[in-house]
Amino acid sequence: MLELRHVWKKYGRFEAVKGLDLAVKRGEIFGFLGPNGAGKTSTIRMVAGVLRPSSGQVIVGGDDLEKEPERAKSRVGYIPDRPYLYDKLSGGEFLRFVAGLWGREGDEVEARADRLLELFHLAPWKDELIESYSHGMRQKILISSALIHQPELIVVDEPMVGLDPRSARLLKDLFRTFAENGGTVFLSTHTLEVAEALCDRIAIIAEGQIIAFGTMEQLREQAHAGGAHLEEIFLKVTGGEAMNDIIEGLREAIAR
C-alpha cells in the first residue's frame, strides 16, 4: 500500500532523511518511531504529500506521489499532531469543505459526516463554530476530516494528543477496524505503549535512517532484549544507556 524508495530529504546541507526504503502492506497498522530530530515528521509529511522529497519515490497504492499527485493524495487521510482548522466554519461545514476538496458532495457526504460526528460525540456541536471547540473537540473534528473521503491510508502523527481516555480508546478501536477492513495506518507516536499494543510492525528511525524494523518479536531479537517491552527496546537501540545514567544520577540526587 505504501512504499518509500530510497527517499532523501535535505534542508540545505542538513540531511533529515537519508535514503529511506520501506514497504507497508494493506491491512497493516505500522508504527514509525524515533527520538526528536530523527526525521519522523519530515517522513510523515512526505508520505502525506505535504512535503516533497529531495530525491527518491513515495508510492501510495501504486501511484507515485510526484507523478500522480492528485490520485495518490486522494488515497490518504492525514492527521497531523496539531489541529489547524478554519475557526469561522462550523464542524459540519468544515467536513463538507474537506470532502469537497476531494470531489465528494451530496447526501452521501452528509450522511458520512453525521456518522463521524456521532461517533466522536460531536453531533450537538455540528452547527457551532470551530472557534468555540475545546482542544480535544478540535482534534476529533480533525480526525473526522481525515476520514470523510474514505481514504485507503491514514497517516497519523501523535493521534492521542488532547483526547480524553474514552476518545483515545475509540480511536484505537477505529484504527483496528479500519485495518481489519483492508485499510492501512501509518502511525507515529511517542506513546510507546500505544504503538506496542496497536502496531503489527514497527520501524525505529534515528538520524534519518532506520535502525530497527519488524514485529515486536523481531525487534526483541535485534535488540538482544528477550521479553522486553517496546520502551526498553527503543531506549536500547536509540542510546538508552545514556538515559539510564541520567536517571541514576537523578535518583542519587533525590536520595541525598
Percentage of the residues of the chain whose pLDDT score is greater than 70: 93
Domain presence at residue 10: yes
CA dist 43 and 7 (Å) reads 9
Task: Please report whether residue 28 resides in a domain.
Answer: yes
Q: How confident is the model at residue 218 (pLDDT cuts 50, 70, 90)?
A: very high
Q: Label residue 121 left, alpha or beta by phi (over 0 means left) and psi (-120 to 50 means alpha).
A: left
Q: Is the pLDDT confidence value at 253 over 90?
A: no
d(CA 48, CA 220): 30
Q: To which residue does cell 527503543 refer?
A: 234
Angstrom distance (rounded) from CA 77 to CA 186: 10
90 neighbors 138 (Cβ within 8 angstroms): no
Residue 223 lies in a domain: no
> CA–CA separation, 84 vs 120, rounded Å?
18
Is 200 a domain residue? yes
Cα–Cα dist 15/33, whole Å: 18
pLDDT tops 60 at residue 119: yes
Would 119 be classed as within a structural domain?
no
Q: Is residue 128 part of a domain?
A: no
In total, how many domains does the chain have?
A: 1
Q: Could you count the other beta carbons within 10 Å of the beta carbon of residue 129?
A: 15
What range does the domain containing 166 cover?
2-86+151-214
The pTM for the full model equals 0.90
| β-pairing verdict for 209-214 and 201-206 | antiparallel
CATH number at residue 155: 3.40.50.300
Of 8-22, 58-72, 236-250, which range is least confident? 236-250
- Tens-digit pLDDT profile for residues 151-193: 999 999 987 777 888 888 989 999 999 999 999 999 999 999 9
Grid coordinates 525487534 are at which residue?
219
